[in-house]
Amino acid sequence: MPAFFEFLLVALALYIWESTLWLPKQGVALRRSWLGKKWRVIQASALLSMRDLGLVPMSPVPPDIGLAPCASFPLAVAENGEIHVSSSDGIFTHSTARAWEDIRFSKPYLHVGQHRIRCQSPAVAQLLRDGKLQGLTPAEAIRRAWKLTLSPSRAKWELRKWSLVSSSLRLYPPALTFGFFLALPFVYFTFGSVATFWFSIWLWCLMLGCAGNLFWLAKRAYPGARGELRQDALLSLLIPFHAMRSLELASVHAFGTTHPTAVLIQANQANHPWLARFYREKIFPRPTHPGDAVIARNILPLLENHLSKYGFESSSFLSAPDRSEDREASAWCPRCHGMFLQGKKTCVDCGNLRLNPFDK
């Protein structure tokens, strides 16, 4: 095989690797088509996951402008003011943190008492810092963070802001990708090595444009993630495949403090199956996981308020599942909507939650 084709194969493998997002396992990426308005939900841990991270594949052809990698705030506050921390599996447990001295951020982890949490973006820590600067206690800052991350109006503003500040960045990745994988081989075989050299210089100028846009985003649009965006800018100067995915990499920080429920509600998709399940999981906490009740107290009042403001009835999420294809089922789980035969009293998957009987 000629050396040039070997080079292209290696380049393609590197491009495929760069076309993946590694988010915290409990992260949720929303995606819609270029002209579509409906969001689809992608769980970070659905395809492939490691200890703390899950994989979200990008669209094979950049830019993936319909991608919104959202995040859930990893802390919650109990009624007595105790701070609970989310594990990589989404289980909230009690921490020993009481004061600001017990909370610190060391990229990419948020350290709370004896716990360490992998954060999608430094913007998560910035929410806490803003609360601290306002003179709030850690518990008050966490409640404030939940109000912000769950706000549909703020999510709508974040989407509009991202659409505006990323408009110029959308031009470079597709030109760079097609230029590298299609135009570069054509120039090489048609005009020779000298023309290929000058064409490579032009491609590097596109990489420079990507880097310049990322530096601008770090300084003006998302200063809370300044360090990470500057690092992406430097890598975009050196690695063409990183520059090809610069838009998607920057979106991780653009939506790092936006909850997926807020995006779905502002898009009038409150009837989305993922949102329905999310609501049921909060209103029916698992008896074997005390932390479920803690996070439910933080989220439910805000979520129900936003649903009512947008004209949705949360009671519609609590109806029994359709058993037309399983007439033998006699009971159902109010949390996961699993259906069970006669004799079952609890759902093991939901912490032995008591089942509801189907109406005769």
What's the mean pLDDT when you consider all of the chain?
A: 93
Model confidence over 288-344: pLDDT tens digits? Answer: 999 999 999 999 999 999 999 998 988 889 999 998 888 889 999 999 999 999 889
Q: Does residue 245 form part of some domain?
A: yes
Is 89's pLDDT higher than 90? Answer: no
3-class secondary-structure state, position 96: coil
Q: Does residue 276 form part of some domain?
A: no
- Do 112 and 56 have their domain in common? no
Query: Domain range holding 117?
Result: 75-145
Q: How many residues does the chain have?
A: 360
List the beta strands (DSSP E) in the chain. 20-24, 28-31, 40-43, 53-57, 67-70, 75-77, 83-86, 92-94, 103-106, 109-112, 115-118, 331-332, 339-340, 346-347, 353-354, 356-357
Burial class (CB in 10 A: 0-12, 13-18, 19+), 160: exposed
| Count of the separate structural domains present in the chain | 2
Q: Does residue 330 form part of some domain?
A: no
Is 3's pLDDT higher than 90? Answer: no
Q: Can you tell me the mean pLDDT for 146-160?
A: 97
Is 224's pLDDT higher than 60? Answer: yes
- Do 79 and 198 have their domain in common? no
Q: Does residue 280 form part of some domain?
A: no
- Do 58 and 184 have their domain in common? yes
Is 1's pLDDT higher than 60? Answer: no
Q: Does residue 11 form part of some domain?
A: yes
Find the helix or strand (DSSP H, E) in which 192 lies: none
Q: Does residue 334 form part of some domain?
A: no
Model confidence over 236-250: pLDDT tens digits? Answer: 999 999 999 999 999
Identify the band that residue 46 occupies on the pLDDT scale cut at 50, 70 and 90. Answer: confident
Q: Does residue 98 form part of some domain?
A: yes
Residue 327 has a pLDDT of 84
Is 47's pLDDT higher than 90? Answer: no
CA atoms within 13 A on the CB side of 351: 14
Model confidence over 169-182: pLDDT tens digits? Answer: 999 999 999 999 99
- Do 55 and 204 have their domain in common? yes
Rg (CA), the chain: 23
Q: Taking a C-beta distance cutoff of 8 angstroms, is the pair 84, 78 a contact?
A: yes
Residue 345 has a pLDDT of 93
pTM: 0.94
Q: Does residue 275 form part of some domain?
A: no
Residue 200 has a pLDDT of 95
3-class secondary-structure state, position 193: helix
